[in-house]
Amino acid sequence: MALKFSNKVAVITGAGKGIGYEIARQLIHEGAAVALNDIDAALAKEVAIKLVLEGPGKCVAIPGDASDHAFIHKLVRRTIEEFGQLDIAIANAGKTLFGDFFQVTLEDFQKMVNLNLQGSFFLAQQAASQMRLQGKGGRILLMSSTIGLRPYPHLAIYSMTKSALHMMAKSLVLDLSPYDITINTLAPGATITDRTLLEDPDYENSWREVIPDGKTAMPSDVAKASLFLLSGDASHITGQTLVIDGGWTSLSPYPSSIDVVKNISREKPGPLSKNHPESL
């Protein structure tokens, strides 16, 4: 039986762990060659070796800062040098910043915009330029969040950047469709990753209380949806946002722990919390 992504080459940012890692893993299991990026060079190399051993696809680590414009050019160029083509680009790298609105600095703001927006935009641009040159179409996927669809306490900048990705996909349909390149956005809800468990060891139970289907997502749930949008089965889907949240955005209730956070913040603004780059 033929593998779904045989002879396809993908580049994915922020894929050393969490959702990005799982998307890379599933693509490789379906025969794809993957250029795996992460800002942590040691982690990227370790993960790439592990995924190569799992096969049957291929994987090479290309570590670097996905918010850096010059590095994005290098990332796409290195992918072509390694595998000779580029068919799929996934702008997964992202940064979350919790904090009081009144405490946000210009540096905080620029770091968030540079990674979540600038990095995604220019990866799409560089990947699409290569796909246009190849003349065989392609797939681009942007990684947003349900927090780009619904407000959430202390996440103003993050939600702004994630919301902008939905309009990016809709706008770029006009530029990319003539070249048979689709572009879509994925909006995961509460998902169990190393980062979310670090924020709240009881993350799974806290969230499943308020998710209509009673389940907190795993990275594999998001990856399976990603592979659908990246496959030939989704050739007539573009400019759309696929929400994976167990129905949470229907009502958008917060876990009970959020009420505690809001009460504390009214008493005294707390410091901003800078998390490692990874999509929510």
Q: Parallel, antiparallel, or unpaired for β 33-36 and 97-98?
A: unpaired
pLDDT, one tens digit per residue, over 22-57 is 999 999 999 999 999 999 999 999 999 999 999 899
> What are the phi and psi torsion angles at 273 (to 5°)?
-110, 115
Q: CATH number for the 9-274 domain, one of 3.40.30.10, 3.90.1150.10, 3.40.50.720, 3.30.565.10?
A: 3.40.50.720
**Token pair of 85, please?**
């083509």
Whole-structure pTM value: 0.90
pLDDT of residue 275: 43
Active-site annotation, residues: 158, 162
Question: Helices in the chain by DSSP H: which ranges?
Answer: 18-29, 41-54, 69-83, 106-113, 120-134, 156-176, 194-199, 203-208, 219-230, 248-251, 256-267
Task: Measure the N-to-C terminal CA separation of the chain; round to a whole number of Å.
Answer: 34
pLDDT of residue 257: 63
Sequence ranges of the domains in the chain: 9-274
Q: Which residues of the chain have pLDDT under 70?
A: 1, 257-280
pLDDT of residue 259: 52
pLDDT of residue 152: 87
Q: How far is CA 103 from CA 50, 111, 113, 269, 273, in A?
A: 41, 15, 17, 8, 11
Contact 146, 255 (CB under 8 A): no
pLDDT, one tens digit per residue, over 97-114 is 888 999 999 999 999 999
- Residue 187, sorted as left (phi over 0), alpha (psi -120 to 50) or beta, turns out to be beta
pLDDT of residue 251: 86
pLDDT of residue 97: 87
- Residue given tokens 């998902």 in the structure block: 191
pLDDT of residue 254: 85
**Token pair of 29, please?**
């299991």
The burial of 69, by beta-carbon neighbours within 10 Å (0-12 exposed, 13-18 middle, 19 or more buried), is given as middle
